Amino acid sequence: MSDALNEQELMESIDGDLEFLEETIEIFDEDGPPLLEEIARAATADDAAALAKSAHALKGMLSNFYAAPAVAAALELERKGRAVDLANVEAAVDRMRLETQRVREALQHILEKNRS
Protein backbone atom coordinates (compact mmCIF):
# COMPACT_ATOMS: atom_id res chain seq x y z
CA MET A 1 0.00 0.00 0.00
CA SER A 2 1.30 3.44 -0.95
CA ASP A 3 2.05 5.97 1.81
CA ALA A 4 1.06 8.77 -0.56
CA LEU A 5 -2.49 8.63 0.82
CA ASN A 6 -4.60 6.87 3.43
CA GLU A 7 -6.59 4.47 1.30
CA GLN A 8 -8.80 3.25 4.13
CA GLU A 9 -9.91 6.74 5.15
CA LEU A 10 -10.41 7.71 1.52
CA MET A 11 -12.60 4.70 0.72
CA GLU A 12 -14.60 5.15 3.90
CA SER A 13 -15.22 8.77 3.11
CA ILE A 14 -16.85 7.85 -0.21
CA ASP A 15 -18.48 4.64 1.02
CA GLY A 16 -16.27 2.64 -1.33
CA ASP A 17 -18.00 4.25 -4.30
CA LEU A 18 -15.50 3.64 -7.13
CA GLU A 19 -17.62 5.48 -9.64
CA PHE A 20 -17.48 8.57 -7.52
CA LEU A 21 -13.75 8.09 -6.98
CA GLU A 22 -13.31 8.03 -10.73
CA GLU A 23 -15.30 11.24 -11.02
CA THR A 24 -13.08 12.98 -8.47
CA ILE A 25 -9.94 11.66 -10.15
CA GLU A 26 -11.16 13.12 -13.45
CA ILE A 27 -11.56 16.50 -11.75
CA PHE A 28 -8.13 16.07 -10.20
CA ASP A 29 -6.66 15.40 -13.66
CA GLU A 30 -8.32 18.52 -15.00
CA ASP A 31 -7.70 20.97 -12.15
CA GLY A 32 -4.48 19.60 -10.61
CA PRO A 33 -1.98 20.22 -13.45
CA PRO A 34 -2.97 23.86 -14.03
CA LEU A 35 -2.57 24.51 -10.32
CA LEU A 36 0.86 22.91 -10.34
CA GLU A 37 1.81 25.04 -13.34
CA GLU A 38 0.59 28.16 -11.56
CA ILE A 39 2.62 27.21 -8.47
CA ALA A 40 5.74 26.78 -10.61
CA ARG A 41 5.12 30.04 -12.44
CA ALA A 42 4.54 31.97 -9.24
CA ALA A 43 7.68 30.51 -7.67
CA THR A 44 9.77 31.45 -10.68
CA ALA A 45 8.26 34.92 -10.84
CA ASP A 46 8.66 35.51 -7.08
CA ASP A 47 4.93 36.06 -6.95
CA ALA A 48 4.38 35.16 -3.29
CA ALA A 49 0.67 36.00 -3.20
CA ALA A 50 -0.11 33.87 -6.25
CA LEU A 51 2.00 31.07 -4.81
CA ALA A 52 0.08 31.09 -1.52
CA LYS A 53 -3.24 31.16 -3.28
CA SER A 54 -2.57 28.33 -5.73
CA ALA A 55 -0.84 26.18 -3.08
CA HIS A 56 -3.85 26.70 -0.80
CA ALA A 57 -6.20 25.55 -3.56
CA LEU A 58 -4.11 22.45 -4.35
CA LYS A 59 -3.91 21.64 -0.65
CA GLY A 60 -7.69 21.68 -0.38
CA MET A 61 -8.03 19.41 -3.40
CA LEU A 62 -5.44 16.90 -2.12
CA SER A 63 -6.98 16.81 1.35
CA ASN A 64 -10.00 15.05 -0.17
CA PHE A 65 -7.74 12.07 -0.94
CA TYR A 66 -6.30 11.96 2.58
CA ALA A 67 -2.91 12.50 0.98
CA ALA A 68 -0.92 13.73 3.99
CA PRO A 69 2.55 14.08 2.37
CA ALA A 70 1.19 16.03 -0.62
CA VAL A 71 -0.94 18.21 1.67
CA ALA A 72 2.19 18.90 3.76
CA ALA A 73 4.12 19.89 0.63
CA ALA A 74 1.32 22.24 -0.43
CA LEU A 75 1.12 23.71 3.06
CA GLU A 76 4.88 24.42 2.98
CA LEU A 77 4.47 26.32 -0.28
CA GLU A 78 1.43 28.17 1.03
CA ARG A 79 3.37 29.25 4.12
CA LYS A 80 6.31 30.40 2.04
CA GLY A 81 3.96 32.45 -0.06
CA ARG A 82 2.19 33.96 2.93
CA ALA A 83 5.50 34.73 4.63
CA VAL A 84 6.83 36.16 1.35
CA ASP A 85 9.90 34.00 1.96
CA LEU A 86 10.65 32.16 -1.25
CA ALA A 87 14.07 30.77 -0.18
CA ASN A 88 14.48 27.20 -1.48
CA VAL A 89 11.10 27.45 -3.12
CA GLU A 90 12.31 25.45 -6.17
CA ALA A 91 12.97 22.38 -4.01
CA ALA A 92 9.52 22.75 -2.42
CA VAL A 93 7.93 23.00 -5.87
CA ASP A 94 9.76 19.84 -6.98
CA ARG A 95 8.52 18.03 -3.88
CA MET A 96 5.02 19.24 -4.64
CA ARG A 97 5.20 17.80 -8.16
CA LEU A 98 6.56 14.54 -6.84
CA GLU A 99 3.96 14.13 -4.10
CA THR A 100 1.13 15.03 -6.46
CA GLN A 101 2.38 12.46 -8.92
CA ARG A 102 2.53 9.84 -6.15
CA VAL A 103 -1.06 10.62 -5.18
CA ARG A 104 -2.17 10.20 -8.77
CA GLU A 105 -0.37 6.84 -9.01
CA ALA A 106 -1.85 5.67 -5.72
CA LEU A 107 -5.32 6.59 -6.94
CA GLN A 108 -4.75 4.67 -10.18
CA HIS A 109 -3.58 1.70 -8.17
CA ILE A 110 -6.76 1.77 -6.06
CA LEU A 111 -8.94 1.90 -9.17
CA GLU A 112 -7.17 -1.00 -10.87
CA LYS A 113 -7.04 -3.11 -7.72
CA ASN A 114 -10.75 -2.77 -7.10
CA ARG A 115 -11.73 -3.37 -10.71
CA SER A 116 -9.83 -6.63 -10.99
Q: How far is the CB of 102 from other proteins (least distance, A)?
A: 17
How are the residues of the chain apportioned to helix, strand and coil, as percentages rounded to the nearest 5? Answer: 80, 0, 20
Query: What is the footprint of other proteins within residues 43-72 (CB under 8 A)?
Result: 53, 56-57, 59-61, 63-64, 66
CA 50 to chain centre: 17
Q: Identify the CA nearest to 95 among candidates 39, 46, 54.
A: 39
- Out of 1, 18, 27, 84, the residue judged to bind other proteins by CB under 8 A: 27
Q: Identify the CA nearest to 96 among candidates 50, 23, 38, 22.
A: 38
* Binding of other proteins by 20 (CB under 8 A): yes
* Binding of other proteins by 4 (CB under 8 A): no
Residue (19 or 112) nearer to other proteins, CB? 19
* Binding of other proteins by 13 (CB under 8 A): yes
